[in-house]
Structure 1
Amino acid sequence: MSAGFVTSEGQIIYSNMDHWWSRKFKESGLIGGSTVHYFEPGPWDEQYQELEDPIPGLTPWSTSNVKAKVGVVTGNHSVFHEPRGDGYCVRMETNLKKVVVLGVVNVKAIASGSIFTGGMVDPITDPEPPRRNTLMGIPFEHAPTAMQFDYKTIVGRNRQRATGGLRVRDIDGRDKAEAYVILQNRVEDNDGNLTEKRVGTGWVRFDETTPDWVNDYQLKINYGDITDSNVFESYMGLIDDKDPFYSYNSKGDVVQYLESGWSSNPDDVTHIIVVFSASYEGGEYKGSPESKFWIDNVKFIYE
């Protein structure tokens, strides 16, 4: 991932959500042969429209819009660009993905719309574990005090869990939209292994529908160990072996990483993870097909 994704003012490019590249491919004839055409934040030039495959290093942003090749070629489309004012915003949706083979539904999976800094394995050839296919984080050497964005939500009340088989199970609790930012110190050894420390954390979950735009919402970023602070929730803890993250190393290999501890020094920041998701447990195939989450004008605040 390129350090050129961040401006000298400490802003990630394409964060105003007004510029989008697009991809177009056909699903396997066995499941209907539909054409999938989706958009992701990135360069708006004509040469970057209707690409068959993504271009590595094109954009710092990736989404849950994916191409999978597990027996058949299929696509998931859960993130959309939507007109807003003179530009665009991003709309994320949670959906119950159904794959129909010869007229018979044989796969059902909850797919939560999400957008994040990093990349995706493409095409996905093994869906397990899901985290293995999301390559989180980009180079970033700034220390913002907050992340600002515009948002609105539809929070679904009826959650389901569907992991890719035939069964769809109802689960308790309403859905929640989620936004978070993690600042890390990342060190790579000679073998390409990554060691991470957590430097900054900002995290929010929205559990109420907000039908009108909330502009300039600010998510505070707290530095150092936050486990004893009044903002801490268990899901904000260090990345551990119960749910490891993955990323590219400098050799271009996909490697697993954990966070070994905390740092309170803003000068230690080397990487950033930003995530927005329509369903907070979408990575576990849980969510409500009613849920939608709109985001626009993402920027960092420095004080």
Structure 2
Amino acid sequence: MVVNNRLGYLFVFLGMSMALYAQRKTEVIRYGDLDQWVVRKITESAIIGKETKTLYCVGPTDTIIGNRPFESKASPWGSSNVMARVSGITKASVSVYPERRDEGYCARLETGIESISAMGIMNVKVLVGGCLYLGRFLEPAKNSSETWGQIVCGIPFHQKPTSLLFDYKVKLSGDPNRIKLSGFSKRSEVNGIDMPLVNLFLQKRWEDKDGNIYAKRIGTLVIRMDKNTDWVNDASFTILYGDITKRSDYEEYMGFQLGESARYSLNSKGKNVPIQEIGWGTEDDEVTHMILEFCSSHGGSYIGSPGNTFWVDNIRLGY
């Protein structure tokens, strides 16, 4: 009888251990440990100083010298570090950096002001936020008016994770309000503090005969960080499935990304078009794509507070 009891306790223990293991099963998104980076050396045009800038991209370790449009075939990650070529002038923008952490690296996303001076005559200032996302930027950037229109947002994805996990640290600017600074328009103030954000959207996409892309929203996770923190390791955030508008914690910004906020993707004709979210799916619906974004500011293009900084590391999905 004693032996049987002990065996019973052993099986219960093993069962509990297996259940806990199943609950904690995680999968690192490719290169999501952020320990490998591509270094690019871009030389800006002589008219704006001919400075050589270093751009960093998450992906297999490499160094690329030269003003060539970048597209990583190996890494699913894109960022706000881009090369622009407008009216024949080449400019590089840097707001995401690798930073040493323990035995590897993390990503540091910063909100700051980029200045463009041309022969001492013109001095244009633009607010730039740091963003790391799944997708890619269609380099070179050709204008500043269609930020999302130059990004292929999201990647093909067919799973249904229960959570997003990552390590993070936050340093807010301390300013009570944000600014909007888009270059040629006058600097203005926007009410409310600036907050780093994380968006994860699971979608079921399809394309019509005219090349329009539509989507149902299957899963949603939207996080805004409103407090300074030291490193928080293994933070886990639940992905919500189906129509979330009736939840008590629902906010309007968790809804469909439409209009100026619409994300874009390449259609079968090779054109980058808006993803038109037209309804809520259910947990039983097929998932075809995942959008995942980490940003140092939450207000959209050219809105934020210089000094806002968001560190992220070890990005993975829980099942």
Cα displacement (A) at 1:238? 1.3
Match of 1:180 among 172, 190, 199: 199
Q: Which moved more, 1:79-88 or 1:168-177?
A: 168-177
Amino acid at match of 2:195: K
Distance in structure 2 (CA, Å) of the matches to 1:169 and 1:262: 36
Cα displacement (A) at 1:231? 2.7
Distance in structure 2 (CA, Å) of the matches to 1:23 and 1:53: 10
Matched, 1:130 2:152: no
Matched, 1:100 2:117: yes
Asked whether the equivalents of residues 71 and 136 of structure 2 are also in contact (C-alpha less than 8 Å), the reply is no
Amino acid at match of 1:169: S
Cα displacement (A) at 1:213? 0.3
Distance in structure 2 (CA, Å) of the matches to 1:82 and 1:11: 19
Distance in structure 2 (CA, Å) of the matches to 1:262 and 1:171: 31
> After superposition, what is the alpha-carbon deviation per residue over 1:67-91, rounded to whole angstroms, capped at 9, x for unaligned?
1112321111000001101110000
Structure 2 length as normaliser, TM-score?
A: 0.86
Asked whether the equivalents of residues 59 and 72 of structure 2 are also in contact (C-alpha less than 8 Å), the reply is no
Structure 1 length as normaliser, TM-score?
A: 0.90
Amino acid at match of 2:80: S
> After superposition, what is the alpha-carbon deviation per residue over 1:215-260, rounded to whole angstroms, capped at 9, x for unaligned?
0111110000000112311001112235322111244321122101
1:270/1:10 CA distance change after superposition, 3 Å: farther
Asked whether the equivalents of residues 78 and 135 of structure 2 are also in contact (C-alpha less than 8 Å), the reply is yes
1:243/1:109 CA distance change after superposition, 3 Å: same
Match of 1:170 among 177, 189, 200: 189
Distance in structure 2 (CA, Å) of the matches to 1:50 and 1:89: 23
Asked whether the equivalents of residues 28 and 314 of structure 2 are also in contact (C-alpha less than 8 Å), the reply is no
1:14/1:56 CA distance change after superposition, 3 Å: closer
Match of 1:273 in 2: 291
Cα displacement (A) at 1:66? 1.0
Matched, 1:90 2:107: yes
Distance in structure 2 (CA, Å) of the matches to 1:88 and 1:50: 22
Cα displacement (A) at 1:168? 2.4
Amino acid at match of 2:199: Y
Asked whether the equivalents of residues 134 and 153 of structure 2 are also in contact (C-alpha less than 8 Å), the reply is yes
Percent of paired sites with the same residue: 37
Distance in structure 2 (CA, Å) of the matches to 1:235 and 1:92: 21
Match of 2:35 in 1: 18
Counterparts of 1:247-258 in structure 2 under 5 Å? 247-258=265-276
Unaligned runs of 5+ in 2: 1-25
Matched, 1:54 2:70: yes
Unaligned runs of 5+ in 1: 1-8
Distance in structure 2 (CA, Å) of the matches to 1:77 and 1:199: 33
Match of 1:299 in 2: 316
Matched, 1:117 2:134: yes
Match of 1:64 in 2: 80
Match of 1:4 in 2: none
Total equivalences in the alignment:
290
Cα displacement (A) at 1:104? 4.0
Match of 1:259 in 2: 277
Distance in structure 1 (CA, Å) of the matches to 2:154 and 2:179: 29
Q: Secondary structure at the match of 1:284?
A: coil
> RMSD across aligned C-alpha pairs, in angstroms?
1.7
Amino acid at match of 1:173: G
Match of 1:226 in 2: 244
Asked whether the equivalents of residues 241 and 258 of structure 1 are also in contact (C-alpha less than 8 Å), the reply is no
